[in-house]
Chain A
């Protein structure tokens, strides 16, 4: 069902004099779980922001399927089938969980302001249809008990799940997860790993994630890419990357 490959070629970006991402190339195959690891400030989140077009690269190309992502604007990326979550949860704090998830489907909804003003029957039908899709995601993520809560009233862990659910509501074929397990306890991290499996197998979504928790990475990722100081160190299976000398040096310092 999903046959699009994400290709990043020679991607670079400069912030003033700092080269945050330097000539990075990699491919994420359809249906794969691909993890990016690296020390703080290695450029992992910058890579994500480049792929979601929040940043304009200095050089290189990004394509998804036959689509050149650099031709799209940030708000069109979701139409190409790419959804994402954020490291510092970015939910709509003063709206309910349900409203948050419905915004997740914004890209698939009608835009006619005047129809919305009159709440025409077509709008009512579409709202119910989208609600059904949202309820499927609520079931999958088991967040039914929070449905009518405001985000501002939710604990950290629940927000993390809601954000993941919101990203899924857009029906992406590629999901960028920025540290899905950060700030979660062991039990919650286990839950996340099961969900990631579900998302991958039930929904057929390709996963690209930034993660520090090597246990989680080892459990869910098929391919791991290590970056340090904006440069690519190595790509391989979790075991290969873990035993790579460059990676160990980047994490532990010279001479280890």
Chain B
């Protein structure tokens, strides 16, 4: 176990204070950078898709995990980013301008939702965002001039700064660079006043307000940032899908994003990334299971949703902190070996909250 010896306030501002973290992040970065040399083209494309989902996960994590605002319609922002980007590209707008514009549009719509829902809590917010998701999906289906309606729309070929990105590895590196920037930016956000205000609103709106946090504005900001990041992910996703249809951005996709951050572990950026890995690997695992299991079970329709649901239940019951929480425990086990006990992570209730001013 490493004890940090801090000698300056700047030590607490470092993103990766521990040596172990630096090494692990270094290994992950090395793997991601050299993936095109190691992986088969098919898996490389899958990895790129996973990175796009990780960005979307971080987007939702900022809103739900850090600001405590539930959104069951987040696929709408994914769709807004994807459709806007596709539309601009097909109008001949260059990639860099188009992706920025798509992000901005998504952010503006997010801020509008944040404005109208800034006084809502819990269930009401969940229902409102769900309704928004359904509404936007309908718009995608009906607005033929821009979205191509239910027939869908083809995404123009990827070309950045006039260079055609026809190879999978070029596409992959584009995803990687943007994902790295988003992770870095999100990590920065939560070591600065804005991110702390988000967390403050999550934990106690009342005292945040009395400390000078404009709670309504923070919610608008959180929705805006979250929608921007999710919209950016949507624009990247469009290039993986190559063909957009409204159903892609429906309620099920919103649920998938929600499951991603719950399974990954609410309240951490790494959790969103873990969730994306999980969501991407699950179909692979399920298709593998299908071959192994006897055909009577393996070929049954609805095996995927069943396994999906079961896993979610298990995670919520046995590991509420998700994969990130499990990872912390495993790490703690090795760091403190052989002193880890079952109760090492059990949180004692030191006192119970009673009547809170609501």
Contact = CB atoms under 8 A, between A and B. Distances in A.
A98 interface: yes
B196 interface: yes
B197 A106 contact: yes
A140 interface: no
A106 B200 contact: yes
A73 B213 CA distance: 11
Contact of A152 (B197, B347, B355): B347
19 contacts: A54-B209, A54-B357, A88-B354, A88-B355, A88-B356, A88-B357, A90-B204, A103-B196, A103-B200, A103-B208, A103-B211, A103-B213, A106-B211, A106-B213, A116-B193, A117-B189, A119-B192, A127-B13, A170-B211
Given A99-B199, A107-B211, A156 B350 contact: yes
Contacts of B206: 54, 86, 90
A170 B197 CA distance: 14
B267 interface: yes
A131 B9 contact: yes
B185 interface: yes
State the main secondary structure of chain A at its contact with B: helix
A144 interface: no
Given A75-B213, A155-B351, A128 B9 contact: yes
A192 B289 CA distance: 63
A77 B195 CA distance: 22
A78 B194 contact: no
Contacts of B351: 155-156
A124 interface: yes
A40 interface: no
A93 interface: yes
A54 B215 CA distance: 13
Interface string A96-138: 0011001110110111010111110001100110011001000
A94 B203 contact: yes
Nearest to A163: B207
Given A78-B210, A92-B204, A132 B185 contact: no
B191 interface: yes
Q: Which 10 A-B pairs have the closest CB atoms?
A: A107-B212, A116-B192, A92-B203, A90-B207, A119-B188, A78-B212, A109-B193, A131-B9, A116-B194, A156-B351
A104 B200 CA distance: 10
Interface residues of A, number: 50
A93 B267 CA distance: 13
B350 A99 contact: no
B12 interface: yes
Given A119-B188, A132-B9, A153 B211 contact: no
Contacts of A74: 209-210
Nearest to A155: B350
A115 B356 CA distance: 35
B7 to A, nearest CB: 13
B189 to A, nearest CB: 6
Interface string B152-174: 00000000000000000000000
B211 A123 contact: no
Contacts of A166: 207, 211
A98 B355 CA distance: 26
B199 A110 contact: no
Contact of B204 (A79, A91, A153): A91
B353 interface: yes
Contacts of A155: 350-351
A106 B215 CA distance: 12
B323 interface: no
Contacts of A135: 9
A80 to B, nearest CB: 10
B184 to A, nearest CB: 9
B201 to A, nearest CB: 9
B192 A95 contact: no
Contacts of B221: 113
Contacts of B213: 75, 103, 106
A84 interface: yes
Contacts of B13: 124, 127-128
A131 B351 CA distance: 29
B214 interface: yes
B203 A95 contact: yes
A52 interface: yes
B225 interface: yes
Given A116-B188, A128-B9, A86 B207 contact: yes
Contacts of B191: 119, 127
